[in-house]
């Protein structure tokens, strides 16, 4: 049987939609197949099993961000703080737009079971972490940034956004949206988060 070249991406798109809505445990391979209009054999052929499918989905998510980070790292027209702020903007937008999947990934990473699975996910995200670390380290070496703890600076950036993503009740109060409105769809609140993170990083990193 000749497989259309877009079937693999269709499976990943369907998996992302279901994992975002139902979580990892709540999403079955059969449901993913039904949504993607493929048979089970095709999923097994491309991904092996549900774990393999989830890992590939995370890799697709991470690789998109990795390309953006690499471009920032290599862009000579931007200052180091502009690179950091561009990353903060892009990272916030990406996670807000894919909040459901992000929460599923965070939930899986926090659980004690499937340790080998967690190691695989950690390795996928490590590539992005290392590029961001290079941007900060180069800024320090160039004298543009203070001597800071690079790893914990990245953790502060990521942790702030993640905390906003998981606390919907708190966000509703901060964003002051109506009960029937998704606060994560509020562009004013998203911009507020981005501006806060950039102000925080600038005040912490840049020498006066």
In CATH, what number does 1-48 get?
1.10.10.60
Residues 6+ apart with CB under 8 A from 48: none
Instruction: Reduce the DSSP state of residue 28 to 3 states and report it.
Output: coil
Dig out the tokens for 198 from the structure.
């950039």
- Report the Cα 186 to chain-centroid distance in Å: 19
What is the per-residue pLDDT for 3?
45
**Could you tell me if 146 and 80 are in contact, meaning their C-beta atoms sit under 8 angstroms apart?**
no
The pLDDT value recorded for residue 85 is 95
State residue 144's pLDDT score: 95
Q: Computed from CA positions of residues 161, 167, 168, 170, in that sequence, does the dihedral angle turn out positive or negative?
A: negative
Tell me the two tokens of residue 195: 């501006």
pTM: 0.82
Q: Name the architecture of domain 51-205.
A: Orthogonal Bundle (1.10)
Q: Alpha-carbon dihedral of residues 19, 23, 26, 29, nearest 10 degrees?
A: 30
Domain boundaries, given as residue ranges, for the chain: 1-48, 51-205
Task: Walk along the chain (208 residues) in steps of 10 and give the mean pLDDT of each run.
Answer: 68 92 91 93 91 88 84 93 94 90 83 67 80 95 96 93 89 78 87 95 91
Residue 68 has what pLDDT? Answer: 85
CA atoms within 13 A on the CB side of 130: 7
d(CA 199, CA 71): 23
């Amino acid at each position: 049987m000749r497989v259309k070249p877009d079937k693999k991406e269709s499976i990943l798109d369907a998996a992302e939609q279901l994992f975002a809505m139902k979580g990892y445990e709540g999403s079955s391979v059969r449901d993913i197949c039904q949504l993607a209009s493929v048979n089970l054999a095709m999923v097994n052929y491309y991904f092996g099993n549900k774990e393999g499918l989830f890992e590939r989905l995370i890799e697709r998510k991470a690789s998109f961000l990795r390309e953006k980070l690499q471009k920032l790292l290599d862009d000579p027209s931007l200052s180091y703080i502009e690179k950091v702020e561009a990353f903060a903007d892009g990272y916030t937008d990406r996670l807000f737009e894919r909040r459901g999947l992000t929460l599923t990934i965070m939930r899986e990473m926090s659980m004690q079971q499937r340790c080998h699975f967690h190691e695989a996910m950690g390795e996928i995200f490590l590539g992005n972490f290392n590029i961001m670390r290079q941007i900060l380290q180069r800024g320090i070496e160039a004298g543009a940034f203070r001597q800071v703890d690079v790893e914990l600076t990245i953790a502060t950036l990521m942790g702030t956004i993640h905390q906003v993503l998981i606390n919907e009740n708190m966000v509703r109060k901060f964003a002051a949206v109506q009960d029937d409105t998704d606060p994560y769809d509020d562009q004013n609140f998203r911009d507020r988060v981005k501006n806060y993170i950039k102000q925080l990083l600038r005040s912490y990193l840049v020498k006066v």
